[in-house]
Amino acid sequence: MVLVNSNYLKLKAGYLFPEISRRVQAFSTAHPGDAQLIRLGIGDVTEPLPAACCEAMTRAVEEMGTREGFHGYGPEQGYDWLREAIAANDYRSRGCDVSAEEIFISDGSKCDSSNILDILGEGNRIAITDPVYPVYVDTNVMAGHTGEVDASGRYGGLTYLPLDAENGFEAPLPGEKLDLIYLCFPNNPTGAVASRDQLKRWVDYALANDALICFDAAYEAFIQDAALPRSIYDIEGARQCAIELRSFSKNAGFTGIRCAFAVVPRGLKGRASDGSAVELRTLWKRRQSTKFNGVSYVVQRGAEAVYSEPGKAQIRALISFYMDNAAIIRRALTAQGLTVFGGEHAPYVWLRTPAGLDSWGFFDLLLHQAHVVGTPGSGFGAAGEGYFRLSAFNSRANVENAMARIARCDFAGSAAA
């Protein structure tokens, strides 16, 4: 029989979302006539694609149906016109030194954050925040970079940096020397955003310790304050210690279209086993050329339209729509005496569960009393216990309706239930 990758057997059985479905299913079966459930648990966008992107993709499909406009395999790293548009609009216009050759178009940041492990070696000391986007953890488990999982869901061999209200959801700098650090700002799930000082401390740490930062900026477009950094490359020295992942999933609603990019700067190096320095960009280019055949021409034309004048305006409108949802959620929950975090520069509101309820206790309360589905904070890591995530990705009607239902909940009365 063929051998399997036994690292997969270390994975904690996909617990969070199956458990949510199980509880929702059980509730629906027990209360068949009840009001429709409103799902504020998902991390997926709900609004239609920006018109500029649709039009660009429609034109691209038509071109592909002609002899002159047909495109076969494209460059594995992406078409130059898209890489150039990204470099100009997302970086150069903001004074960040990133060039088109350092941008690698992909079919998603989820894949990029996983694939990057292909070019990194064994034995790196790896840090992730807790709570965290689970992909960073699970992909390291699959790659054999961890030990076994413990009862709290933490894997041996990983360094967990706890995020909580007490530290303002700002991960403490590690006391020890680490080699790879995953950071995500604006953050999923806590909705926290990083200040320039905070990112500078991380860049300084990485430079001092020869560490690599994997900076996930999937929610960059949701930053509302122009003074906040939008890229790790806003920080001096980041080109020597960080790669950045960006995606069109959350700004342009491309979750079902699939387009993202990784920035791997020239001159950013890792170490070979003989101690010599190796450029990561060269390895990444080699990895992508060998294992990836590029994102479709049609989709890349859709992504390019994000940077057109109409595209920019439509994206601003889309982001403000979701951020207005987030403000409605924040206001409603605050009015009810709940302590809320995030939701100001991110589409997620992170709240402290009230009345001594744990994350799943609050999940059950919202499900039963309000018929609203959210995400228990403990599902994102042990330190997420006692917190809960609500997503602003929904229609206005659903958000308003959900908040009206939550306003009628009795938190204190069910504390012991």
Ligand X SMILES: *Cc1c(COP(=O)(O)O)cnc(C)c1O
Nearest to 392 by CA among 293, 336, 325: 325
- Give the separation between CA 352 and CA 384, rounded to whole angstroms: 9
In whole angstroms, the minimum distance from the beta carbon of 393 to ligand X comes to 10
End-to-end CA distance of the chain: 50
E strand spans, 256-384: 260-263, 269-271, 277-279, 340-342, 348-352, 372-373, 375-376
Tell me how far, at minimum, the Cβ of 249 lies from ligand X, in Å.
3
> Is 7 assigned to a binding site?
no
Chain residues that interact with ligand X, rule: CB under 6 A: 43, 108-110, 133, 184, 188, 216, 218, 247, 249-250, 255, 260
Q: 249 or 353, CB closer to ligand X?
A: 249
Looking at beta carbons only, is 171 or 365 nearer to ligand X?
Answer: 171
- Minimum separation from the CB atom of position 136 to ligand X (A): 8
Q: Is the dihedral of CA 143, 148, 153, 159 positive or negative?
A: negative
- Which residue, 250 or 281, has its beta carbon nearer to ligand X? 250
Of 126 and 357, nearer to ligand X (C-beta) is 126
Q: How far is the CB of 360 from ligand X (least distance, A)?
A: 22
Binding residue per annotation — 249?
A: yes
Pairing of strands 372-373, 38-39: parallel
* Among 349, 348, 329, CA closest to 401: 329
Beta strands in 163-272 (DSSP E): 180-184, 212-216, 242-247, 260-263, 269-271
Kindly state the smallest distance separating residue 250's Cβ from ligand X, in Å. 6
| Structure token digits, residue 1 | 């029989």
Residue closer to ligand X, measured from CB, 108 or 153: 108
247 is in an annotated binding site: yes
389 marked among binding-site residues: yes
110 is in an annotated binding site: yes
Residue nearest to ligand X (CB): 108
Rounded (10°) angle between helices 51-64 and 297-304: 150
For the CB of residue 244, give the shortest distance to ligand X in the complex, in Å.
12
Please name which of 379, 381, 380, 351 lies closest in space to residue 366, comparing C-alpha atoms: 351
Indicate the residue among 43 and 162 with the shorter CB distance to ligand X.
43
Question: 258: annotated binding-site residue?
Answer: yes
Question: Is residue 109 part of an annotated ligand binding site?
Answer: yes
Question: Which residues make up each annotated binding site?
Answer: 15, 43, 73, 109-110, 133, 188, 219, 247-249, 258, 293, 389
Question: Which residues make up each annotated binding site for substrate?
Answer: 15, 43, 110, 133, 188, 293, 389
